[in-house]
A and B are shown apart, each in its own frame.
Chain A
Amino acid sequence: MAINLKPVDVAVIGLGAAGGVAVLPLARAGLKVAGLEAGTWMDPHSFKPDELHNNVRGLLTSVPKANQEVPTVRNGPSGPTRRGNIHPMMNAVGGTSIHYWAQSWRLKAWDFKTRSEVIKRYGQGAIPKGTTLEDWPLDYDELEPFYDTIEHEVGVSGKAGNVQGKIDPAGNIFEAPRQREYPMPPLRGSGFTDHMHEVAKQLGWHPYRPPAAINSQEYQGRPGCAFHGYCNRGGCHISAKNSTAVTTIPAALKTKNLTIFERAHVTRIVSGADGRVTGVTYIKEGREYFQPAKVVLLASYTYENSRLLLLSTGKPYPKGLSNNHGQVGRHYFAHYQSGVSALFPYDINVWYGTPAQASAVDDWADDVYDHSGLGFIGGTTLQPHTEMHPIEAASMNTYGLAPAWGAKWKSFVRVNAARGVSAYLQTSTFPYEDIYLDLDSDVKDPLGDRVCRVTSLVKDNERHACEYGQKKMEEWFRAAGAVEVSRAPIGAPGVSTHAYGGTRMGDNPDTSVVDRWGFSHEAPNLGVLGASVMGTSGARNPTQTSQALAWRTADHLVKSWKTIAS
C-alpha cells in the first residue's frame, strides 16, 4: 500500500534543466510545490577535473536509476534492438544541466514556422518525404519574453546581434530580434578560437561568440568561468556553470514554497475516472508513496516523459496517459552526430576552456542561405571550440599518416596530440512517420517496467544537410591552415542528449500531445516540460528553448490556476 502524503498544489517530476526552472515562477506565485527528483543534491567539491572519472567511466552521469532505464535503440522498425548509451539521463537536483556544455541559444523565428516558410520560399515539393513537420502553435515573438527571462534569471553570457532590429556585427547578425543585450558579455576566446574567428571573417562569414549559461564574470554572487577544461560531462567546481542546482532551484527554495524529495523514483502518474490526474506514485528507499497534487508537471527528460506516460495507464487512458490519440512517442527526433576534425601544423593548445568557448558561424544554418536546388532544407551551425583531454587527444585520428600502434604511432601522436581539434556541428532535424519512441517489448527495469525504445533511421534530408555543413567546416579549417581534415560519417542518431518530441506541442490533438501552453489535450491538469514538446530542433542546443517553454508553461499555470487546477 502506498503511503499517502499531504496534498500539494503542483508536483513536478524531475528537477533538471526544465523542471528546475519551472519551480521558480510557481513558488514565487505562492503555490506549494513538491519537486520529485530521482537523484540527490551533488556537492560541487565532488566535481573532479578528471577525464577518467567524467568522460571515460562516466561516473558523474551514471547514476543507478538512469543506468537501469537506458533506452534501447533499433535502426528502423525491423532492425535489431541494442542498449543505447548511458550519458543523457542524469538523476540529480539540477539534472543534465550539471554536466552539459551550457550552450544556451534561442531558436530562430524560422524554426517555429519551418513548414510554412519552406513552402512559401521553395514550394510544397521541398518538404522532406515522410516528415510529420508542422509549424509550432506559437511563434518566436511569443517566446521571446521567456527567453529573455531565462537569460537573466539563469544567467547567460553572450553578445547580441539583433536588439530590436538593430544589427550589431559583433554578435550573431542572423539571430531573431531580442529586446535587450545579454546580462553578461561572452566568454573570452582562446588563441585557437580567436584565430578561427578571424579566418571566418576573411571568408566573408559572420562569426560570433556563442551564448552560454556560464558566467563570464561574477553574476548573482557566483564567479566567472575559470576555463579549467573539465566542463563537458563534469560539474563546475566553482558554480560558474549556471545549472538549475545553483540558480533557479535555490531561488525557489528561498520562497519556502518548494519542497524537494530526493531519491524519489516516480513510477506512475495517477488519473481519476474523469480523466484528470490526481497525483504521482513514487518509490523511495523501498517504500511506495502517493503524492496527491492539483496539477502535475512532467519534466523527466524526453525519453522518460514518453515512457512514464505510456506506463501510466488507467481507465480513461488504456493506451497510456494522454495517449488516446496515439500521439505519445510520435514526432521524436534527435540531432545527428556530424563532427569534423582537423590537424594543424603547430600546437593549438585546446586543452583547457569549455566547449562554449568557441567561434560560431550561422551563415550555413537554418534558412540563412538559399537552398534552391540543394535537395534539402535546414542547415548547420559550425563551432570550433576548446576543451580536450589527454586520453581523448592520444586517441586521435591519425589521418592515414600513421598506423594505430607501434613506434610510428608514438612518433605521430607525441607531435600531433596538441595539434588536433574537433568542431561541433548541429543540423536542423525534423520528425518523421517512422521515427518514434515506444516501450521495449522485452527489456525491463528492476521494477518490471519496460524501458523506452528508440526507433531511429537516417533520413536523406538530414544527411544531406549535415554533409553540406561538414564541407563548409572543412573549408573553414583549411582556410585556417589545417593540414588534414576528416568528416565523420553520418549515422542514425542513437540515445541522444539532444532528444526532441514524443509529447509534441500543437493545436491539433490528432498530431500532438500538449497544447500551445504545454498542457495535455486530454488530461487538463497535466503539463509536460522539456524538449519533448518541441516540434523542431533548430541547428542548436535545446536547453534554453526548453527552459523558456517551461517558464512559460508555469507562468500560464499561475495565471490560469483556477481553470487548470479545478
Chain B
Amino acid sequence: MQHDHKVRTLSRRSLIAGAALVPVAALAPAAPAATQSVFSAADHKTLEAFAARLVPNDELGPGAVECGALNYIDQALAGALADEKTSFLQGLAALDAYSRKTNNAAFAELPDEKKDAILTAMDTGAAEGFENARAVFARFRRLILEGMFSDPYYGGNTEFRGWDMIRYPGPRVAVGAEEQQMRTPIKPYRRSALGANNGHQS
C-alpha cells in the first residue's frame, strides 16, 4: 500500500524524469491502471452517478467525484475493506436493478431528478423491493464522505479539495495558540500526514 501510494503521488514531471532511468516494465505495474479497479465499467458509472448526486459539483465547488471519492473506495475495497467488497458491489447492482425496474433505464442514464428520487427512496427506506436500501445508502454515503475528507494517502481528497471545502487546515506536527483561535482563518497546510516518517519529525 505504502509503496503504491508513493508511486501514485509522484508528480508527473518526476515520473517522466524518472522514467529515463527506470525500465518501462518496472513502472507499469504501479501505474493506477483502470484494469486494476474493483469496479466493472458499469459499476463505476453507477457509483459515479450516485456520488455526483450525493455531493454534487456546483458553483460552490467540487463534489464527491471531483474530490476523488471513487478512487478512495476503489483502493479501500481492494485493500483495507476487502471484506466488504462483495456486499458493496451487490449494493451497486441492486441500485441499478432498482433503477431499471422503476425507470426502465440504468441509474447512470437517468436525469438528475430521477436519480435524486431514487436516493431519497433509498435513504427513507421507501425503495420497495430494494433489500437493505437504507443500509446500502448509509454505507455508500459513509464511504464517499471518507473518500472526500480522509488523508489523500488513501486515494481520495484529491488536491485537498475535501479539506479545503470545510476549512480543515490539515494535520501538522505541532499547533500554536494562534492556530486555535475562533473566527480567525487558519492557513491551510496541504500535506499528507503519511508521507515520509508518517508525517512526524523525529
Determine if chain A interacts with chain B: yes
Please name all residues of chain A whose beta carbon is closer than 8 Å to the beta carbon of B61 when the two chains form the complex.
Answer: 410, 414
> Are A191 and B174 in contact, with the CB atoms below 8 A?
no
Cβ-based interface call for A152 (8 A): no
Given A347-B182, A349-B182, A352-B175, are A393 and B168 also a contact pair (CB < 8 Å)? Answer: yes
Instruction: Choose one: A45, A191, A391, A394; the contact of B182 (CB below 8 Å).
Output: A191
A237 to B202, CA, bound (A): 9
A420-478 with Cβ < 8 A to chain B: none
Q: Count the A residues whose beta carbon is within 8 Å of the partner chain — how many?
A: 47
Q: Which of A18-69 contact B (CB under 8 A)?
A: 45-52, 56-57
Least CB distance, A398 to chain B, in whole angstroms: 13
Which one of B60, B154, B166, B194 has the greatest number of beta carbons of chain A within 10 Å? Answer: B166
With known contacts A195-B182, A228-B171, A349-B186, A50–B200 Cβ distance under 8 A: no
The answer to whether A229 and B175 have CB atoms under 8 Å apart is yes
Q: Does B165 contact A (CB under 8 A)?
A: yes
Specify the chain B residue showing the minimal Cβ separation from A228.
B175
User: Are B56 and A226 in touch, CB under 8 angstroms?
Assistant: no
- B45 close to A (CB within 8 Å): no
A386 CB within 8 Å of chain B: yes
The answer, among B162, B165, B183, B198, for a CB contact under 8 Å with A45, is B198
Chain B 93-148 residues near chain A, CB threshold 8 A: 116, 119, 123, 141-142, 145-146, 148
- For B174, give the chain A residue with the smallest CB separation: A226
A49 to B201, CA, bound (A): 12
When the two chains form their complex, are residues B141 and A351 in contact, meaning their CB atoms are under 8 A apart? Answer: no
Contact indicator B151/A52 (Cβ below 8 Å): yes
Check B54–A394 contact: CB distance below 8 A.
Answer: no
Contact partner, A227, options B150, B154, B180, B183, Cβ 8 Å: B180
Q: Which of A192, A351, A386, A405 contacts B123 (CB 8 A)?
A: A405
Contacts of A394 in B (CB 8 A): 145, 148-149, 162, 166
CB of A391 within 8 A of CB of B145, answer: yes
10 extra interchain contacts, Cβ-Cβ under 8 A, other than A45-B198, A57-B80?
A48-B194, A230-B171, A347-B167, A351-B186, A390-B163, A393-B149, A393-B168, A405-B53, A406-B56, A418-B167
Question: Which residues does B use to contact A, with CB under 8 Å?
Answer: 53-56, 58, 60-61, 63, 80, 116, 119, 123, 141-142, 145-146, 148-151, 153-154, 162-163, 165-169, 171-175, 177, 179-186, 193-194, 197-200, 202
22 examples of A-B residue contacts, CB within 8 angstroms: A45-B197, A48-B199, A50-B194, A51-B151, A190-B177, A191-B184, A227-B180, A346-B182, A347-B184, A349-B179, A349-B181, A350-B180, A390-B150, A391-B145, A394-B166, A405-B53, A406-B56, A410-B55, A410-B61, A414-B61, A414-B166, A418-B168
